[in-house]
Amino acid sequence: MSIVVTGATGHLGRLVIADLLERGVAPGDIAAVVRDEAKAADLAARGVELRVADYDRPESLTAAVHAGDKVLLISGSEVGKRVPQHRAVIDAAKAAGVALLAYTGILGGPKADLKLADEHKATEELILASGLPYVFLRNGWYTEVYVQNLGTVLEHGAVVASAGDGRVASAARADYAAAAAAVLTGEGHENTAYELSGDVAWSFAEYAAAVSEATGRDIAYRNVSPAEHKAILVGAGLPEAFADLLVDVDAAISRGVLAGGSDDLARLIGRPTTPMPQTVAAAVKG
C-alpha cells in the first residue's frame, strides 16, 4: 500500500509530499504521479516512487494506482477539461480497488453557487457513484492566489476587485496540504466531507491594508463594477472566458460564498490557520 499523490509536481502536490515526509512516512511508501519524470527528479532523489501518468491519457493511469493505495486526487488546473480528467482517475482507482480516494474540491461542495464549482460538483458525484471510500477536501481560497499578483497591485497602487465588502476566509496553501496529509495518514476519515477555510475572513480593504503594512506603500482598495472589472482583466490580456470566471468569483465573494465559518481546517492540522497578513508579509520579503 502506498500513499499516492497526483499532480505531484504542482504547488499543492509538492507541499503534500513534503508534509507526509515530515510526518515520518517512509519515502518508499509515497508514490508521486507525474507527467514528466524530469520535473520530479528531486522527489526521486529523496526516495519517493515516481509513477508516470497523465489525466488526459486514461490508459496511463492503470499502472499509477494499486490495490490498497490511498490516493489524493488533486483537481486538474485546466478549467473545462477537469471532469473527463478526473473521471479517468476515478475509473482507474475503482478498477484497482484503492482503499481511499481523497479529492480536493471547492468550499461549499454542492452548495457552492459559482461557475468555478461546477466541475468540482460533477467530480464529487462521480466519486459517490463509484462506491469508493472517499474524503472530500473542499478547499477554500489559497491566500497565494492573491499575493501572486502583488506586482500588479504595487504597479497600480491599488487592489482592484468587484467583491464589494465581501470577505474571503483564505488560508495558506501549506495549510491545505497539511490537512490532506493528515487525512492520508490518519484514521476514521472515510466517507467524510471537510469544509476547509481559514480561521479569519478578510475584506479586500483589509487585504489592501496588509499590503500597505508589508510594503510601506499606500495601497487602496478600488471596488469596481463587474463590467469594469471584466474590461480591466481582458485589457490585461486574460481570455474573456477566464475573465468571466474571475468576475463571477468576486460576485460569489460579495454574496458570502467564500467567507468560511467551519473550523475543519484548523482541527485537521492541529493549529490555527496561517493569517492572511503573514502570507502577504512573507511574499513581500521574498
Specify the fold of 140-171+197-260+273-286.
UDP-galactose 4-epimerase; domain 1 (3.90.25)
Note the pLDDT of residue 201: 98
Residues in CB range of 229: below 8 A, 6 or more apart: 160, 161, 162, 246, 247, 250
pLDDT tens digit string along 242-282? 999 999 999 999 999 999 999 999 999 999 999 999 999 99
Identify the three-state secondary structure at position 109.
helix
pLDDT band at 96 (very low <50, low <70, confident <90, very high): very high
Comparing 3-139 with 140-171+197-260+273-286, is the CATH topology the same? no
**In angstroms, rounded to a whole number, what is the distance separating the alpha carbons of residues 29 and 254?**
44
Enter the C-alpha cell of residue 79. 478549467
Name the one residue in this structure whose C-alpha cell is 481511499: 100
Note the pLDDT of residue 9: 95
Note the pLDDT of residue 165: 97
Phi, psi of 110 (to 5 degrees): -65, -15
Extents of the domains making up the chain: 3-139, 140-171+197-260+273-286
Q: Are 157 and 216 in contact (CB under 8 A)?
A: no
Integer-rounded Cα Rg, in Å, for the chain is: 19
**Mean pLDDT computed over every residue of the chain:** 96
pLDDT tens digit string along 107-121? 999 999 999 999 999
DSSP 48: P
**In angstroms, rounded to a whole number, what is the distance separating the alpha carbons of residues 156 and 170?**
23
Note the pLDDT of residue 138: 98
Helices 11-22 and 173-185: crossing angle, nearest 10°?
50
Note the pLDDT of residue 1: 84
Note the pLDDT of residue 286: 81
Residues in the chain: 286
The percentage of residues in the chain with a pLDDT greater than 70, rounded to a whole number, is 100
Residue 235 reports pLDDT greater than 90: yes
CA nearest neighbour of 98 among 132, 72, 128: 132
Look up the pTM and report it: 0.96
pLDDT band at 47 (very low <50, low <70, confident <90, very high): very high
Tell me how crowded residue 191 is: count the other CB atoms within 10 A of its CB. Answer: 11
pLDDT band at 29 (very low <50, low <70, confident <90, very high): very high
Q: Are 106 and 112 in contact (CB under 8 A)?
A: yes
pLDDT tens digit string along 180-209? 999 999 999 999 999 999 999 999 999 999
Specify the fold of 3-139.
Rossmann fold (3.40.50)
76 by Cβ neighbours in 10 Å (0-12 / 13-18 / 19+) ranks as buried
Q: Fill in the amino acid letter for 73.
A: L
Residue 152 reports pLDDT greater than 90: yes
Q: Are 101 and 131 in contact (CB under 8 A)?
A: no
Tell me how crowded residue 158 is: count the other CB atoms within 10 A of its CB. Answer: 17
DSSP 135: E
Enter the C-alpha cell of residue 176. 491545505
**Residue spans of alpha helices (H) in the chain:** 11-22, 41-45, 58-61, 82-96, 118-130, 144-147, 150-156, 173-185, 204-215, 226-235, 240-254, 264-269, 276-285
pLDDT tens digit string along 168-178? 999 999 999 99
- Strands ordered across the beta sheet of 134-139: 49-52, 30-34, 3-5, 70-73, 100-106, 134-139, 192-196
Note the pLDDT of residue 208: 98
Rounded average pLDDT over 206-220: 97
